Amino acid sequence: MRAGTYIRQIESYKAFIPNRLPPDPINIDWEIQELLSKADRALGRLDGITEILPNPDLFVTMYIRQEAVLSSQIEGTQASLVDVLEYESKNQRGQIKDVSEVLNYINAINYGLERLQVLPLSLRLMKEIHARLLDNTRGSNKNPGEFRTSQNWIGEPGCMLKDAIFVPPPVNDMNKAMGDLELFLHNNELKMPLLIKVGLAHAQFETIHPFLDGNGRMGRLLITFLLCSMGVLKRPLLYLSYYFKKHRKYYYERLQSIRDNDSWEEWLKFFLTGVHEVSQEATDKARLIIRMREDHRAKVNGLGTYSLPLLEYLYENPIITVNNIKDEFNINYSTANRLTNSFEQVGILVNISGTSRNRQYAYKDYLDLFKD
C-alpha cells in the first residue's frame, strides 16, 4: 500500500501508520492533469483580480471571517457570520463559546500569516498557531500548542477506541510522520505541481492527526498557509471550508479511502475540483464587490465629509452601531446619527435591531455576498 499500513497494537486495536509522501508511484492521469490546469487558471485569475480590488486587505478580512465561521461549523459550532460581526460591533467582553472559537480561528489565521513573513511553515509554527486556535475555548484542556502524547481516534461522538472509525498513528509513529511531512513541505528538489503538493499535505496531516483536538481546523488552515508561503497567492483569498462543508460526507469518505484503498488519485480529483470551484466563486464575488462599490460610492457621494470614508469602513465592518461610527471618525453622536440615517435613506444600511434605541445596522448588500 502506498498510503501506509494498519498495524495491530498491543492493546488489540489497529492504528494506521502512514508512509512518507509523495505516494510512489502517483498516477497523474489525463483527468487529474485537466483538473490541475483548470485549478491553476482559476487561481491565477483570483490572484490577478486582487490587484484591481480597491484596498484588497479590507476584503481579505471578510473572507477570513467567513472561512473561520465555515471551518468551525464543520466541527460543530453554531455561530454564524452575523453572530461574529454583531459580537464585534458591540465590543462585548463576555465569552460566548461558539463565537469565541470563531474569533480564535480568525486570530490563528492572522497570526500565522504574519509569522510566515519571518518563519517558514514548520512544525514549530503549526504548534504556535494551534495554541491560538484552542486558547480559552473548547479543547483548551487538550494541550494547545503541543503534539499529543497519547492515542487519539476518530468516530461517533462519545465512542471508545475499540469502536473508532479510524485510529491515527501512535505517538512515536506520529512524531516521525510529522517530521517526514515537514521535510516533504520543504523538499524543493521534488518536481511536483504545487497544488498536488498541497493536496497531498492536507490529506497526510489529517491522517496523522497530531493534536488531541483541532486537527480538522488546522488541516484546513494548512492549505491557506501553503498557498501563501509558496507564492501561489499574494493574499489569502482562497478557502476550501465552504466546499468541504458542502460535500462533507464525501470529503471524509475520500480521506478514509486513501487509508483503506490507496485512493490518492481520487482524493486529488476531489481536491482540485474544489480549488477550481472555490477560486471561480471568489473571483466572481470580487467582481461583484467592485461593481457594487462603484454604485454605492455614487449613492453616498455628497452625503457629507465622512460619507466615502464610512463606506470604506463598512467593507471591513459591515455590522455597526452609531457609536461605532462616532468612535471611528472621532465625531459627536449627533453627527454620527445623521450620517447613519442618510446611509439608511439611500439603502446602504439596514436597521437590523428592530428598535429605535441601541440601533444596529447592516451593510446588507455586502453581507449577502458572504451568506453561508
Query: Looking at the structure, do residues 22 and 146 belong to the same domain, yes or no?
Result: yes
Under 8 Å between Cβ of 275 and 42? yes
At residue 16, the 3 state secondary structure works out as: strand
Query: Looking at the structure, do residues 350 and 267 belong to the same domain, yes or no?
Result: no
Examine the pLDDT at 273 and tell me if it is beyond 80: yes
Query: Looking at the structure, do residues 190 and 94 belong to the same domain, yes or no?
Result: yes
With respect to residue 299, please indicate whether it lies within any of the assigned structural domains: no
Domain with residue 33: its CATH number is 1.10.3290.10
At residue 17, the 3 state secondary structure works out as: strand
With respect to residue 290, please indicate whether it lies within any of the assigned structural domains: no
State pLDDT tens for residues 107-123.
999 999 999 999 899 99
Instruction: Give me 334's grid cell.
Output: 449627533
Helices (H), the chain: 30-49, 56-74, 81-90, 97-115, 123-133, 171-185, 194-208, 215-229, 241-246, 248-261, 264-300, 307-316, 322-329, 333-345, 364-368
Query: Looking at the structure, do residues 197 and 345 belong to the same domain, yes or no?
Result: no
Average pLDDT over residues 16-40: 95
Query: Looking at the structure, do residues 312 and 280 belong to the same domain, yes or no?
Result: no
At residue 331, the 3 state secondary structure works out as: coil
Domain holding 316, by residue range, is 304-368
Q: How far is CA 127 from CA 178, 222, 316, 371, in A?
A: 12, 12, 29, 31
* pLDDT of 139: 60
State pLDDT tens for residues 30-87.
999 999 999 999 999 988 887 777 777 777 888 888 888 888 888 777 788 888 888 8
Query: Looking at the structure, do residues 311 and 260 belong to the same domain, yes or no?
Result: no
Query: Looking at the structure, do residues 215 and 308 belong to the same domain, yes or no?
Result: no
Q: How many domains does the chain have?
A: 2
Query: Looking at the structure, do residues 228 and 355 belong to the same domain, yes or no?
Result: no
Domain stops at, among 255, 285, 315: 285
Domain with residue 323: its CATH number is 1.10.10.10
With respect to residue 101, please indicate whether it lies within any of the assigned structural domains: yes
pTM: 0.90
Query: Looking at the structure, do residues 308 and 278 belong to the same domain, yes or no?
Result: no
* pLDDT of 372: 57
Residue bearing the bigger pLDDT, 242 or 89: 242
Query: Looking at the structure, do residues 270 and 331 belong to the same domain, yes or no?
Result: no
Mean pLDDT is lowest, of 78-82, 187-191, 314-318, for 78-82
With respect to residue 281, please indicate whether it lies within any of the assigned structural domains: yes
With respect to residue 294, please indicate whether it lies within any of the assigned structural domains: no
With respect to residue 114, please indicate whether it lies within any of the assigned structural domains: yes
With respect to residue 327, please indicate whether it lies within any of the assigned structural domains: yes
